[in-house]
Structure 1
Amino acid sequence: MAYVTRPGASAPTPDLPGVDHDWVRVDDITVHVASSGAQGTPVVLLHGFPEHWGEWRQVIGPLSPQHRVICPDLRGAGWTDAARSGYRRRRLTRDVLRLLDALGLERVHLVAHDWSALVAFGLAMEHPERVETLVAMSMPHPYARVTPAMLASAPNTAYQLPLAIPGLGARLLSRGRQPLARYLFGHFSTPGTWTEKDLAIFLAPLTDRDRAATAGPLYRGFIQRELLRVFSGAYRSTPLHPPTLVLVGEHDPVVRADVLARQTGPAGHLEVREVAGAAHFIVDEQPGQVLAQITDFLAAHSGPSTGGISA
């Protein structure tokens, strides 16, 4: 895989044939955006932790003939600025909204994995006019409730404790063999998912201590708080207007598709589907299945008005 270097960056970003790289100023940060496909309805792909835009490396190409595909690195991740603050619900949602504005995108198909799915749900509920469809992966939807099965899976979330401790999480993510990052990739995926070359794509940016240090504020300030809001019922009366598909891996150690499918709320169209043979990192584990689910759902729910604010 080739690499693209931005002046001042600690490591070059991976490059793929047909993918362009731009840096866009959004409020207090400069956002790295990988994109492909000049025409077609826009699809914005938001990555999870501890990945970056490269999570979508196996689906960008197949999507680009029919869509303008946009893969930003979110605040603190990849080659976007590692700001010391801003890892709260309102700011993270605003980051995506302001990026859409900067790119001239009035209405998009939104695809999100892991913690960015929580951002995507918030954007879809607060600004439904900007979201044509939503595909969320490996994360409970806003109407989820705590179940005995979920409580039984709690030991699988123990990694959040060292990750959230100031200083400790950054050291475990960035130093030596980067044990915490390697644990996350190994424990939450099916065997054989990763080669050392694959892992290097995601481990390299984390060797930057400042970047690794953003994981703590992200978990403390957003992920843990937002999941608490979900499970306490904060959104159970909030409509989710865009057609929404939730994808969950068959072997996900925390989230279960059959449980989420029974927990519904005031959504106009909410489907939950299981991805066979996958755990948490479903895009990396089963890219063909995920691609098929995305393309089928977008085709079934696309409207005539998607596109940019201006030509």
Structure 2
Amino acid sequence: MTDPTERRRIEVDGHELRYLRAGESGSPVLLLHGGQIDAAHVIWGEAIEPLAERHRVFVPDLLGYGYSDAPDVPYTTERHVTMVEGFMDAVDLDRARVAGVSMGGGIGIGLALRSPDRVSRLATVASHGLGRDLPNGKLTYLISRQGATNRLSVALLARSRAVTRAGLAALAADSASIDDELVEQVQELARLPNAGRGYRSWRRNEVGVRGFRTDYTDRLEGLEMPTLFVHGTEDEVFPAEWSERAARIADGESLLLENCGHLVPRERPAAVNDRLLEFFA
């Protein structure tokens, strides 16, 4: 895949954010990536060009991720929502169709609930924020209390293609979807200074002894815009049942993709792109 967009930079609340920009006409679309080692071009890399044929697409590296600044501050979902609102202000984006993956899905929901006038349509993919249960119970909580494990993991990703491929394959239902480009992209991010800082802090703030602290389930009825919840049936990070339940509560739509894990836009790009184009039309 060729680089579909122009890379740009902008200052938001005193911090530099990098972002990808594509498409010259149509309604604006804002894409939000996930946590761990992710960035605009990684999880959304296969979606930007197709969406840009009909829309003006904006894809930021969130604060603490990718090529954006990674200050030593507490990272929470609320902070990310505030930074995304600031990003929209900085790029003169009053209102947009919003899609978010994993952590980015939770940020998108938070934005839609806080500022419904800024989100015309909302799509989440394998989203955080739709339940409290931790994927590995108390082990997830214990790991979240210390950062050494994540620092070691990031160091191994930076050094070893085999470890990187295996780590990505563990998140996917079909390891064949983990191509060389994705492995190289994640390795490049793992080699950046402060790689993993944003995720370690976010995880520490989001994971409590009783589960995830951010759970919008009781507020989904208040979403004022059309909603779409996409999920892979084999997702072992956040269960597909979360999206099914969310769609019922929000009176929205759901799309469950068989033989698909957590890396949905990279595992099933054609299905995701087609559905987003239809939903955002």
Q: For residues 49-198 of structure 1, what are the structure 2 equivalents within 5 Å?
A: 49=35, 50-54=37-41, 55-139=43-127, 142=130, 144=131, 154-155=135-136, 158=139, 161-162=142-143, 165-175=146-156, 176-177=159-160, 182-189=165-172, 190-198=174-182
- Check 1:237–1:82 CA distance in 2 against 1; reply closer, same or farther (3 A cut): closer
2:176 counterpart letter in structure 1: G
Measured after TM superposition, the shift of residue 224 of structure 1 is: 5.7
- Check 1:179–1:82 CA distance in 2 against 1; reply closer, same or farther (3 A cut): farther
Deviation string, structure 1 residues 227-285 (Cα, Å, up to 9, x no partner): 33418x6x447611121111010211243434642456763x42222023311101000
How many percent of aligned residue pairs carry the same amino acid? 23
Distance in 1 between the 2:166 and 2:215 partners? 26
CA contact (8 A) 1:136 1:246 kept: yes
For structure 2, list consecutive stretches of 5 or more residues without a partner in the other structure.
none
**1:46 equivalenced with 2:32 (yes/no):** yes
Picking from 213, 216, 240, the partner of 1:228 is 213
Aligned to 1:12: none
**1:251 equivalenced with 2:229 (yes/no):** no
- Check 1:73–1:128 CA distance in 2 against 1; reply closer, same or farther (3 A cut): same
Corresponding residue SS for 1:214: helix
1:173 counterpart letter in structure 2: V
The worse-fitting range, judged by mean Cα deviation, of 195-204 and 249-258 is 249-258
Normalising by structure 1, what TM-score?
A: 0.78
Aligned to 1:27: 13
Runs of 4+ in 1 over 6 A off after TM superposition: none
CA contact (8 A) 1:163 1:215 kept: no
- Check 1:277–1:156 CA distance in 2 against 1; reply closer, same or farther (3 A cut): farther
| Count of residue pairs brought into register by the alignment | 275
Measured after TM superposition, the shift of residue 47 of structure 1 is: 0.8
Deviation string, structure 1 residues 110-163 (Cα, Å, up to 9, x no partner): 010011111111100010000000110112554x4x6xxx67xx3389567546
CA contact (8 A) 2:98 2:123 kept: yes
Measured after TM superposition, the shift of residue 188 of structure 1 is: 1.1
Corresponding residue SS for 1:219: helix
Distance in 1 between the 2:220 and 2:276 partners? 27
Measured after TM superposition, the shift of residue 51 of structure 1 is: 1.6
CA contact (8 A) 1:138 1:249 kept: yes
Distance in 1 between the 2:220 and 2:255 partners? 23
Distance in 2 between the 1:134 and 1:277 partners? 24
Distance in 2 between the 1:237 and 1:243 partners? 12
Distance in 2 between the 1:157 and 1:73 partners? 30
Corresponding residue SS for 2:194: helix
Measured on the aligned residues, the alpha-carbon RMSD in Å equals 2.8
CA contact (8 A) 1:111 1:136 kept: yes
Distance in 2 between the 1:177 and 1:162 partners? 22
Aligned to 1:287: 269
**Larger Rg computed on CA atoms:** 1
Distance in 1 between the 2:171 and 2:197 partners? 21
Distance in 2 between the 1:72 and 1:157 partners? 33
**1:219 equivalenced with 2:203 (yes/no):** yes
Distance in 1 between the 2:32 and 2:230 partners? 14
Distance in 1 between the 2:111 and 2:120 partners? 11
- Check 1:136–1:33 CA distance in 2 against 1; reply closer, same or farther (3 A cut): same
Measured after TM superposition, the shift of residue 75 of structure 1 is: 1.0
Aligned to 1:275: 257
Corresponding residue SS for 1:22: strand
Distance in 2 between the 1:191 and 1:95 partners? 34
1:296 counterpart letter in structure 2: E
Normalising by structure 2, what TM-score?
A: 0.86
Distance in 2 between the 1:141 and 1:162 partners? 19
